Structures are given as structure tokens and as C-alpha cells.
Amino acid sequence: MSISPKNILYIFSCLSLLSAISLFITLEKSEAVPSFARQTRYACSSCHYQSFGPALNSFGREFKLLGYTLGEPNKIPPVSAMALGSFTNTKDGQPGGAADDFGSNNNFALDEASLFYAGRILSKIGAFTQVTYDGVEKQVALDNTDIRFATEATILGQKSVYGIDVNNSPTVQDLWNTTPVWGFPYVDSPLAPGPEASVLIDEGFAGQVVGVTAYTMIHNILYLELGPYATLPAGVQDALGIEPDGEDRIKGVAPYWRAVLQHEWNGNYISAGTFGLLSWVYPGRVKSAGTDRYTDLGFDLSYQYAGFKKQFISLNSAFIKEFQDLSASKELGDSNNSSDSLETFRTNINYTVFSRIAFTTGYFQTTGTTDKGLYQPEPISGSANGRPDSKGYILELDYAPFGNPNSFATPYLNIRVGIQYTGFWKFNGAKNNYDGSGRNASDNNTIYLYLWWAI
């Protein structure tokens, strides 16, 4: 069968239906526990170096690589539940409210509540499927979805793995915490202003697409992945809780690629890789002006050290450059330039003790071409000078009291409490009066307190 958008949609729909049927059966039995831990009989700290995901260690990456199928089959389908509540304070409030039904500042919120079908379906097929209620937007939608077929083979006496992955957002299937979907910060406030500009591969297609990729890990050293993405029909997106109006629609398919070299020795782990996405899109789903073309090219580096007793150190970095051919957007009057570029860089260092207490510091930066058609003045979210440039830092301290082998109620009780501070040196093009309405970058500095809970 040739790989076409129609065939990709057919495969995705069949596998999603299988997950949905199992989810329905499980809900009827009222079972909701951390399904990966139940399946493997291991505590959460076996896969996550912070006892509460999503930061993966070597065993966690292998578990994902092999399609979430390690462990023994369970009579109870693999379903879990999660909720995230928070308090958000920004240095200066947002006139009119941070969102509908919220005040200008100092807001409490149920950020999200999710149900997961996560684990083995068959001996070589597994899934991570998330359905989420957004407590700020007040809507339910299909969230991160990653369905895998994986198997092992011996090549020249060495173990290798190959598989097929079906997912709904580029990089949701990735094994490393460097790429956009699973990169730091793992949670942030939905009620705080964020920079306007982002590269398309940074969740620009999240939930709107279906992708089928083939991957292999050769001798546990070289990882390769390649496959196409296609935009889901508007009616399908509506049914899944995604709002298709105004989104960029892929013409045909958009190829995605990933390559990583990794090595592990004496408590050290290092990986270096590249990833990318080539997309021809109709801006705002409008076909009359032709297409824009986006070429996203990323490079990432990860280092982990577990040589200290009950201590863990990690470094994750990623750089992405996006080349933008905006011929269609210019003709439609949405861009002043026919071509732009955008670059993002993120890096963070984490120190974890006893798999419970973690401190992370991160730096982020976005730079790009001045384009007063794309980036326009607007209170809080706009850019007065037409530049997309933003940069700042994140400091986070969190505590996960459970999730270790000897923890109370393992694996049925998992809690993570955190405080996160985000500071901006530049926001949407400037340090002072960046939006043309008198707001400074530092006015968006944010204190975010959260309670993350899973069963």
C-alpha cells in the first residue's frame, strides 16, 4: 500500500479506534492507575530520573523505543489519569484578564486533566494516547498520541530494534528530552504571556496532523527515523476537539527526519543528533495564493551522569533554524517579506537528589528577521518594532515525594509539587515598551506554582 495522506489517515484511525475501545472498557471497570509502572512492575524512578516524568533515563528510552510493551500483560487495560493545578503571578497584570473568566493577575487554575491509554496493546504494539480537558480553554481534545509497532533483530551479533510509529505531532515520538514536545519546561503557565514567534516544528502542528514514521536503533548506537506528516481533514479535527480554523494546512505531506548517535559508559550517557521537517503549507488554510515553505533544521545534545550515589545530573540543549519562504503570505498581505528566518535555542541543566528533589535552570532565545507584517503592535502579545526576538531564563525547584520502589502506595500515588520562575530580558523584539503600549519585557516575569498528580 502506498503512503498517501488517505492511507496514513486510515492507519491512524484504525489504531486510534483500538485504543478508544480499550479505554472505554477500562472506564467501565473504573480502573485508573499509573499503567506503565503497573505493566513493568517497576517504580516510576526506573524510567524517569525525577520519579515523575517526563524526563527519561536510559531504561525509559528503551521502554519507549520498544513500543511501551516491556513487562507482563495485564488483565486490566493500561489506563492512567492525571491532573495539574496551579497558581500564576506575573510582575504586571494583564488588563482585561489573563484569559476568559480569569482575573488580570494572581490566578488559580485547573490547567488540565487527562486520561491516558498507555502501554501494551499486543506483544509488539503499544500506545501512549492522551485525552485532555483544558481547564483554561474549557474544552476536551485528543492530546499527545504515539502508537508503535516495534521488534528486535540481531545484526552482526548485536541487538537492533526497528519499528513503525503513528503519532499526531512531530517529535512526540522522540526518545530524548531535547526536542519540542518533551523538552524543558515540562509544564508552564497557560495564564502568562509567552513570546509570539516560534518555529513550526515546535508544536505548530500539534493535534492537527497524522504522521507515520519508520525507525531503527542500530547496535544501541545509531538511531534513524523518517516519515511523512499530513493534515487531518477539518471534520476529523473537529471530532477530536481541535479547532482547524486559521491553521496552516500542509499541502500533500511534510517529510520528517531524525538521526542520533548515543554512547553510555561508567554512569555517563551522551547523545548528539539532528532532526527536521520540510513543509509546504496553505497559510490559514487559504489556497488562492499558493503555498509557503518552511524548512526546520534542528540539532540537539544531551548528557546525563548517574555516577553519584542517589544523585543525577543532566544537560539538554537544542538549536532549531527555520527557513521561511513566505510567497503566499506576502500575496495575502500577512507578511511584508517573501522570505524570513527564525532561530530558537534552548538549554537547561538539572540536578536531582534521591529521585525526589530537583533543581533546573534553563535559558531560551528566539531571534529572526524583522517583518512588520508578521509581527505587529498589539497590547501584551504584539511587537512594536516587527522583530520576533525574545530571550530569558527559567528557574525551577520541584519535589516528588513518591515514585520510588519503597515509596508509599507505589505505583498508585504520584505527586509533583513545583515552583517555577520565568524571567525575560527581551520579549517580542525589545526590552522596554516592546508592544507599543508601554509594556516592558520584565512585566511578563512569572511565578508559577503547581501541583501535578497522577494515579
Task: Give the pLDDT score at 9.
Answer: 45
d(CA 5, CA 1): 12
Mean of the pLDDT values across residues 246-259?
97
58-62, 172-176, 231-235, 321-325: lowest mean pLDDT where?
58-62
Number of Cβ within 10 Å of residue 333's Cβ equals 9
pLDDT band at 31 (very low <50, low <70, confident <90, very high): very low
Q: Per-residue pLDDT for 30 more than 60?
A: no
Calculate the dihedral angle through the C-alpha atoms of 156, 160, 164, 165, rounding to the nearest 10 degrees: -150
Which helix or strand (DSSP H or E) is residue 122 part of? strand 107-122
Task: Give pLDDT tens digits for 84-130.
Answer: 999 999 999 999 999 999 999 999 999 999 998 888 888 899 999 99
The separation between the first and the last C-alpha atoms of the chain, rounded to the nearest angstrom, is: 40
Task: Give the pLDDT score at 412.
Answer: 61
Mean of the pLDDT values across residues 64-70?
89
d(CA 146, CA 19): 11
Percent of the chain with pLDDT over 70: 86
Q: Per-residue pLDDT for 39 more than 60?
A: yes
Q: Per-residue pLDDT for 1 more than 50?
A: no
Phi, psi of 33 (to 5 degrees): -135, 165
Q: Per-residue pLDDT for 19 more than 50?
A: no
What is the DSSP code string of 263-293?
Answer: EEETTEEEEEEEEEEEEEEEGGG--TT--EE
What is the DSSP code string of 181-197?
Answer: TTPSPSS--TTS---S-
Task: Give the pLDDT score at 240.
Answer: 94
**Helix, strand or coil, per DSSP, at residue 405:** coil
Looking at domain 5-454, what is its CATH homologous superfamily?
Answer: Porin (2.40.160.10)
Task: Give pLDDT tens digits for 354-391.
Answer: 878 999 999 999 999 999 999 999 999 999 999 999 99
pLDDT band at 14 (very low <50, low <70, confident <90, very high): very low
Task: Give the pLDDT score at 71.
Answer: 78
Q: Which position has the higher pLDDT, 409 or 437?
A: 437
**DSSP assignment, residue 204?**
T
Task: Give the pLDDT score at 233.
Answer: 96
d(CA 179, CA 237): 24
Which helix or strand (DSSP H or E) is residue 226 part of? strand 222-231
pLDDT band at 13 (very low <50, low <70, confident <90, very high): very low
Task: Give the pLDDT score at 66.
Answer: 92
Q: In 379-413, at which residue ranges do the beta strands (DSSP E only) sit?
A: 390-399
Residue 280 CA neighbour count, 13 Å, CB half: 7
Q: Per-residue pLDDT for 16 more than 60?
A: no
Mean pLDDT over each residue of the chain, to the nearest integer: 88
Nearest to 132 by CA among 119, 121, 145, 120: 145
Hey, where are the domains in the chain? 5-454
